[in-house]
Every structure is written in structure tokens, then in C-alpha cells.
Amino acid sequence: MFGQATASLGLLLGNPEVMGFVLLGTAIGLVFGALPGLSGVVAMSLVLPLTFGMEPEQAMFMYAGIMGGNPVGGSISAIMINAPGTAVNAATCFDGYPMAQKGEAGRALGISATASGAGAVFGVLILILAFPLIRIAVTAFGAPETFMFILFGLGAIVVAAQGNILKGLFAGGLGIILSLVGQSVITGEIRYNFGTVYLWDGIQLIPFVIGVFALAEMINLTVKGKTAVAAAKVTGQELTKGVGQGIKDVFHHLRGLLRGSAIGTLVGIIPGVGGAAANFVSYTVAMQSSTHPETFGTGEIEGVIASESANNAKDGGSLIPTLGFGIPGSAEMAVLLGAFILHGLIPGPLLIGDHPEIVWALIWGLVMSNVLAAGFVLIAARYLCKLADVNLAYIIPIVVSLSIMGAYAIRGSFFDVLVAVAFGFFAFFLRKGGFPIITMVIGFILGSLAEKAFMQSLMISGGDYSIFVTRPISLVLLLLLIGVFVIPLVRRGDGGEA
């Protein structure tokens, strides 16, 4: 495994083309992060069809670049205009924007870039150290355990997602049903095709992802319109001058950096929680443990360090369940699982053992992209800040055009475009109704995998359903799944209706 680490690092450093993919991904992540309303999910959805035909390892370097650059870019708009570029930068606004209003935008950007890069390295180190434990765990997983783990992961995400449990269950179940459209890989029968030949192959992943994430978000932004925000007026000289001090601030508060990185990593490991939660949890802990909590929200250095170190550290943590068990903990990881499938890789227990080059491409790509993104912000802060002022009226048509071209490009099918547009509106109305889209997407991606594991389990047992309760790990996962739904109901009963 670790021999492959050297080979993957050599590929990255010794091949200009591969380094170019990381650079391109980082630049895309930075831009989509700095533009309020866009996100890493939209960026990854748009890039997904462009990587078709690329070597899987090279594609993973690009995806890692986007994941690493996006939160760093999101801190720019959070600090400069009090509008987080991505959800994971929300807590950065609390102290980053007040710093900018006091003429310390450069210092805040220096803190953000340095803390983000250091947090990402911390999360990746934890991921590497966890490899031996992951490999031991996955060898104990057969088809029954895989099926129960998929159900447990989906259940945890349903409960953790915004909205009530019933809406989460509905969205997840809807995603599973959508994944079953077309010809069954087990029985060969055609299901839910409504008499159309197009649906024999099922709903295509790329149009679905582009519609649900990219187009739905553009529809949402169009309906809401551009929100006016008060941008901090800071000169280029002030920006440049404060960056160096921001770097020093991070290492003067090393305890806060390590604490935020650890919280981000731990939160990232939990499926369904995501980077926004890591951001707020880290910020809250920093405030509660501070000797001067009253200064938080007024431009406190420790607040920016806490939020930014956590939101990048969470990527290393979230890769643990994603790579080890095929259970995504966030929307970005759901798209990444879709990328695995697009490139012929089966997410789950066998991925680490069968394709270590993919694992290390993501690891080295994340490290390199965070270093590059932090460097970009530190060197070009005065120019990058202008991205936050770009009017979304110019961005939305571009993203919509790229989405439609991406949906069409893979197979040259006009029906794929219709699918993307249809799911764009469908996801928009689901969101308006309070249904968590992430559970539908994860249900769609994992549904066919769950069906395959379920049928394989019954083949192993000769049709005996008791195989799911007579194997220890499968039984434990079933009990955990029941607990995931029962515990919140018990707490609600004790505490009354929220």
C-alpha cells in the first residue's frame, strides 16, 4: 500500500500533465468557492463529464484539486462581503468579516489560507494512519455486511440531514427507486422504463448529478435573485501587508489550530454530518474554551482559525467512510462516488485493496491542492477578492450552458439533457418542500449496490433471510440502524416537540 504512495507522489511531481490537472482542479475550486451561491458540488458536477475518457488516477487528482481549493476560495467572500462562498465557510463570517471591516482583511485571509492548509494536512495524516484499521475492517465484510452497512449509512444520513426523519426517508427511498430503473444486473428484467427504450439502461448518473446539483442551484439563485451585501472597503496595500501577520497568527495559536483540525477530522468521519457542522462545532468549542469568549464575533483571530482549520480537515476524515465502505458523508463525497462508478471503480470495501493508486491520488491531490490554494490566496489576495463582487447574473447563464453541454457530451443524447433539466426542477421543488436532496442522491448512488449485495446474500444463504441476523457484524449493524431511528424519537419524546 505504502509502496504505491511513493509511485503516486512520483506521478504527481514528475508528470507535468498530472500536476496540471491538480492546478486546474484547484483553480476551479477556488473560483467556485469565491463566488457566493456556487459550491464544490456544482464544480464537481460540471467537471464529471469532462473527465470521461481520462485515466481514473488523473481524474482523481483533478477532483482532489477541486475539493481542496473550494473551501479556501469560500473564505474569500466570507471575509470580504460577509457571504460564505460555500456552506462550510459560514462560521468564518462571524469573525472574518469584522476583521475586514477593521481594515484587517489581508490578515484574515492569511489566517484563513494558513489554517485551511494546515487543517487539510492534519486530516490527511489521520486518514493515512487509519489505513491499517480500515483494511482489517473491510476484510470482515461480505455481501450481508455490505448490505447492512449501506442501510446503516443511509439511515444515519437521513437522520442527520436537515428536515424531519419522514422527509429524509422519503427522499432516500425515492433515490433508491430511481436507481432501480432499467435492466436489473441480477435478473436481467426491465423495470420502471414506462415503455421507453431510453430507460432500459437506467437513469444516467451524469445528467442526474448535473441536474440535481448544478441546475437546481442555478434555478434557486435565479428565483432568489442577487442579494446585496456590504463589501469591506480595503486597499490592495492593506491586503498585502496583513497576509504575513495572518500566517504568524496561526502558529501563535497552535493549540486552536490542532483542536480545530481534530474536530474537523472527527466530524468528517461521521456520515451525513458534513463540513458545515464541522465549521460550527469547531467555532463553538473554541468560543466555549476561550478565556475571553465575549470577543468572538467582533474579529477574533481564534474564531477564524477554528472554523477554517476544521472545514478543510474534514475532507481527510470524510474520505475514511467513503473509500473504506462506500458511504459518502457529504454531497461532495456523493459526487466523488459517482466519479468512481463513471470510471469503472466499485466504491466500498475492496477499493482500497484493489486500487490503492486511486486512494493515493486523492490523498496527494488533496495535500497539493491545499498548498496551492493557500499559496494563491497569500500571493494574490488583492486580486482574488474581486471574485466576490462578480454579479451572479453573468455567472448563472454560463453555468447553465456548461451543465447542458456536460449532460449532452458523454453520449450525445438529447434525452440526457432533458433528464438533467427535469431533475434540476425536480430537485429545486424538493428543496423548497424541505426534503434533503443529499439523501436522494446517496440513495440513487447506493441503491443498485445495495440491491446487488442483498441478492448475493440470498444466493449465499439459499434464500434464507436469517443470514442478516446470524452473522455478528451484520447483526450489530442492524441494531445500530434501529438505534439511529429510535434514539432521536426517544429524545424528542422526552424533550417534547421542537
- Please give the pLDDT value at position 488: 66
Q: Domain tally for the chain?
A: 1
Note whether residue 452 is domain-resident: yes
- Spatial distance between the Cα atoms of 476 and 149, rounded to a whole number of angstroms: 10
Closest CA to 106 of 252, 250, 246: 246
- Spatial distance between the Cα atoms of 392 and 398, rounded to a whole number of angstroms: 10
Report the alpha-carbon angle 281-65-399, nearest 5. Answer: 90
Note whether residue 17 is domain-resident: yes
- Please give the pLDDT value at position 189: 81
- Please give the pLDDT value at position 428: 92
Buried b (16+ CB within 10 A) or exposed e, 10-39: ebbeeeeebbebbbbbbbbbbbbbbbbbbb
- Please give the pLDDT value at position 137: 65
- Spatial distance between the Cα atoms of 249 and 258, rounded to a whole number of angstroms: 14
- Please give the pLDDT value at position 421: 93
What are the start-end ranges of the H helices in 343-391? 351-354, 356-384
Note whether residue 139 is domain-resident: yes
- Please give the pLDDT value at position 381: 64
Note whether residue 498 is domain-resident: no
User: Along the chain (498 residues), what's the average pLDDT of each consecutive run of 10 residues?
Assistant: 70 82 89 73 81 84 87 80 67 80 80 85 81 67 79 70 72 88 79 80 81 82 61 52 78 87 78 62 79 81 87 78 71 80 74 76 85 79 60 76 77 86 92 83 78 87 88 87 75 54
C-alpha dist (Å) from residue 18 to 54, 61, 265, 282: 11, 7, 27, 34
Note whether residue 468 is domain-resident: yes
- Please give the pLDDT value at position 231: 46
Note whether residue 479 is domain-resident: yes
Residue 239 belongs to domain spanning: 2-493
- Please give the pLDDT value at position 95: 84
Note whether residue 154 is domain-resident: yes
- Please give the pLDDT value at position 36: 63
Q: Is 230 helix (H, G, I), strand (E, B) or coil?
A: coil
- Spatial distance between the Cα atoms of 84 and 442, rounded to a whole number of angstroms: 25
Note whether residue 394 is domain-resident: yes
- Spatial distance between the Cα atoms of 138 and 350, rounded to a whole number of angstroms: 7
Q: Is 270 helix (H, G, I), strand (E, B) or coil?
A: coil
